[in-house]
Structure 1
Amino acid sequence: MTGRTKAMRMVVALACAAVLSACVAQYRNHGYLPSDSELSDVIVGVDTRDTVAETIGVPGTSGVLDQGNYYYVGSRVRHYGAFPPEIVEREIVAVEFDADGVVRNITRYGLEDGRVVALTRRVTVTGDGDIGFIRQLFGNIGGINLGGIGDGG
C-alpha cells in the first residue's frame, strides 16, 4: 500500500466516525433537584423559608406572590442529530408554605403527573393580527355620524 492509499483510508475512517457520532443521542441535565436525603432534612411544620433555603438551597423558581411556594425544577433533555430537543424527564419539587412562612407540604411531580407546560413564552399575541390591513383601514366606514358635521359642533 502506498502512503496516499493509507491517507485516503484514514480520511474515510474519520469521516465515517464523524457521521456516526452525530447520530448518537446526547443527554443534558438542566436545573437543580434536591435529593430525597436532603428533603428528609426539611421538617414539615417546623422549617421556614429561610431554613429551607439554607438546608436544600435557593429554588430556581418561586411563587408569584412575595410569600409564594418554592419550586425546584430539574429536566433531562435528549438531543439526537438534527431532530429538535426532546424533554425525556422532568421533575418538580414543590415546597408549600402556610401564611406564617412555615413548611406545610413537600410534593414531587413528574411528567406522568400532568402535561408539559412551557414555563416561558416569548411570543406576544395581539388581537390586531386576526384582522387584515384592508379590513382595518375600511373598518370604520359606515360608522361615521354625518349628523354632527353641519351643526358647527
Structure 2
Amino acid sequence: MNRSKILGLAAIGAAAIAATSCTAIREPRGYIVDATLVQSVQPGIDNERSVTGTLGRPTFESQYGEKTWYYVSSTTGRKPFVRPRIREHSVLAVKFDAAGNVVSAERTGMDQVVYLRPDGDETPTLGRERSFLEDLFGNIGAVGQPGLGQGQ
C-alpha cells in the first residue's frame, strides 16, 4: 500500500473512534418497567401482596391520604463531560383501599415532569439579613443572659 492510502485509512479510523466516543450514554434509573407485568395489575382483583409479588417493592409509598405505591423509572442520556438529561420517565401509581385491594393503577410519563430553575445561587429566607461578621460575632455576650433558657 502506498503512504496516502495508509494515512487515509488512519484518518477514517480516528474519525470513527472519535464519533463513537461522543455518542450518548443511556443509563436506566429506578424501577425497570416490564409492560406485561404492569398491565397484569388489575383493580378489584389484586391486593398489596399480589402487587408486591408481581412488581416487587415500590420505589416509595404515600405518607398521607389514600395509600398509594409509586414505581418510578427514568432513563437518562448524556454525552461525555456533559450533565445527564432525562430521555424517558414514567411513574406507575398503584392506589389501594383501606382493605389493601387495588383501586387503580395509573401510569404517567414525561408530560408530568416539571423542570425547576433556581433563581440565583441563594435561597431566599424570611427575616433579617445579617452580614458575615454579624453571623460570626452575633452570640457574643448572649450566653448565660437571663431569659434565654438558662437555669437561674
Structure-2-length-normalised TM-score: 0.65
Distance 2:106 2:80 in 1: 35
Q: Which has the higher helix share?
A: 1
Q: How many residues align?
A: 135
* RMSD, aligned CA: 3.7
Instruction: Map 1:79-98 to 2 at 5 A.
Output: 79-98=78-97
Distance 1:39 1:23 in 2: 35
| 2:70 match | 71
Deviations 1:68-98 (A, max 9, x none): 4221122121222432111021000010112
| Larger radius of gyration between Structure 1 and Structure 2 | 1
Distance 2:136 2:80 in 1: 47
1:11 is displaced (CA, Å) by 4.0
1:116 is displaced (CA, Å) by 4.7
Does the aligned pair in 2 maintain the 1:33–1:92 contact within 8 Å? no
Distance 1:60 1:141 in 2: 47
| 2:148 match | none
Instruction: Map 1:19-38 to 2 at 5 A.
Output: 19-30=18-29, 31-35=31-35, 37-38=36-37
Does the aligned pair in 1 maintain the 2:44–2:103 contact within 8 Å? yes
The list of structure 1 runs, each at least 4 consecutive aligned residues, that deviate by more than 6 angstroms after superposition, is 141-144
- The DSSP-based 3-state class of the residue aligned with 2:77 is strand
- The DSSP-based 3-state class of the residue aligned with 2:75 is strand
Gaps of 5+ in 1: 118-124, 147-152
Deviations 1:85-142 (A, max 9, x none): 110210000101122221121111112124158xxxxxxx9x8xx7543112343579
Distance 2:88 2:81 in 1: 20
Distance 2:134 2:57 in 1: 52
C-alpha spacing 1:8/1:137, structure 2 compared with 1 (3 Å): same
Gaps of 5+ in 2: 117-122, 146-151
Instruction: Map 1:98-109 to 2 at 5 A.
Output: 98-109=97-108
- The DSSP-based 3-state class of the residue aligned with 2:13 is helix
